[in-house]
Amino acid sequence: MPTITCIDDLQRLARRRVPRMFYDYVDSGAWTESTYRANANDFSNIGLRQRVMVDMSNRRLESEMLGERVSLPLALAPTGLTGMQHADGEILAARAAEAFGVPFTLSTMSICSIEDVAEHTSRPFWFQLYVMRDRKFIGRLIDRAKAAGCSALVLTADLQILGQRHKDIINGLTVPPRPTPRNLLDLATKWRWCLGMARTRRRTFGNLAGHVEDATDLGQLAKWTAGQFDPSLSWDDVAWIKERWGGKLVIKGILEPEDAEQAVAAGADAIVVSNHGGRQLDGASSSIQALPSIVAAVGDRCEVHLDGGIRSGQDLLKALALGAKGGYIGRAFLYGLGALGQEGVSESLRIIHKELDTTLALCGLRDIHDVDTRILRPGSYPLPSRPAPSTPR
């Protein structure tokens, strides 16, 4: 077993252990992947100010997100096909998050179902919702999340139309993988993954299978799913979702202040500055570049979280310094899951916690709540931009 020092080490191990189509599903963006790369690169361009000869003892990272106590201001992001990175992946990730004291967010497009995760955890988790054309199904899905005790609903706003992801097209991504010669050859080298999958019954979309009318096999389910993302979704739809849910509502996928204003007006308790990991509009702003303008617009009226590009505790600290109340990791924990299962997710959290703690101290602070732009090198970080003209709707 190689020594694990950072998220990159977990990524290299995951690349060796996860079938190519599922590894590429995680490690890819839309079209030229420019926004995917910018998410991480723009973090690295932000500099930090080192302080010395100050009291660095008794540091405190604990905080709150959506009124829930967290060991550090971080959540596991909703990621589709998590259970294809490792058998029973969503359950394992939720357990690791629970043990570490951070929220886990289950995707609509998960392999393990809402009920599966609820059965194997004791801490309430968050549920991410894709709004589909079949509103009756969506209503039932919301009801299932309520019955499972989910403590927040995370409404994804930026997947009305699927972005073009070239690696998924080239790999012929399917769940489960088709038994083509190329796939079989790849799977022959991923014996750990195959052994895990042979031992589990969870190999398709758990929140959909058995819950969709007139879809009695995987082929019909795949066909139903392909035509279900709703391009007509608008802010007017949020009202009935919020009423049906009745609890904390987060709207994810916000990159512009105008949309942040709309989200607050629609009743969001928090918004997530996110470009879907660079998997939707290639050429869109990186999440960290978009953050300051959105904080300036709505940060006094709702919590502002950030998703996209966080690969270290230093990245998380920079997001907090620019006004985020918390960050989300997707790829970072998925690499850990693919590499080492539940222990890999725990390791990814330990890495980020350690990096956050060390960097906080070296910047001269002891309490995570004291973090602001004072710790950033002047001229290296983005500033709020002037509001753009509103686009006619």
Point out the annotated binding site for FMN: 78-80, 107, 128, 130, 156, 252, 274, 307-311, 330-331
Q: Tokens 């950033």 correspond to what residue?
A: 376
Instruction: From 92, 221, 64, 231, select the one nearest 162 (Cα to Cα).
Output: 231
Instruction: From 309, 320, 311, select the one nearest 279 (Cα to Cα).
Output: 309
Buried b (16+ CB within 10 A) or exposed e, 178-195: eeeeebeebbeebebbee
Give the list of residues 6+ apart from residue 7 with CB closer than 8 angstroms, or none: 311, 312, 332, 335, 336, 348, 351, 352
Distance of alpha carbon 202 from alpha carbon 283, whole angstroms: 36
- Quote the longest CA-to-CA distance of the chain: 68
Please give the annotated binding residues for glyoxylate, written as ranges: 25, 165, 276, 279
Q: Which helix (H) or strand (E) holds 336?
A: helix 331-340
Distance of alpha carbon 221 from alpha carbon 137, whole angstroms: 13
Distance of alpha carbon 45 from alpha carbon 288, whole angstroms: 11
Q: Tokens 């060390």 correspond to what residue?
A: 358
Residue 276 appears among annotated catalytic residues: yes
DSSP-derived 3-state class of residue 370: helix
Is the torsion defined by CA of 234, 238, 241, 245 positive or negative? positive
Tally helices (H) and strands (E) across the chain: 16, 10
Asked if 172 and 181 count as a contact pair (C-beta separation under 8 A), the reply is no
Give the list of residues 6+ apart from residue 345 with CB closer than 8 angstroms, or none: 76, 92, 93, 96, 97, 333, 336, 337
DSSP-derived 3-state class of residue 190: coil
Angle between helices 89-100 and 342-362 (to 10 degrees): 40
In eight-state DSSP terms, residue 375 is: G
Of 120, 166, 276, 353, the active-site residue reads 276
**R_g over Cα of the chain:** 20
Please give the annotated binding residues, written as ranges: 25, 78-80, 107, 128, 130, 156, 165, 252, 274, 276, 279, 307-311, 330-331
Task: Tell me the catalytic residues.
Answer: 276
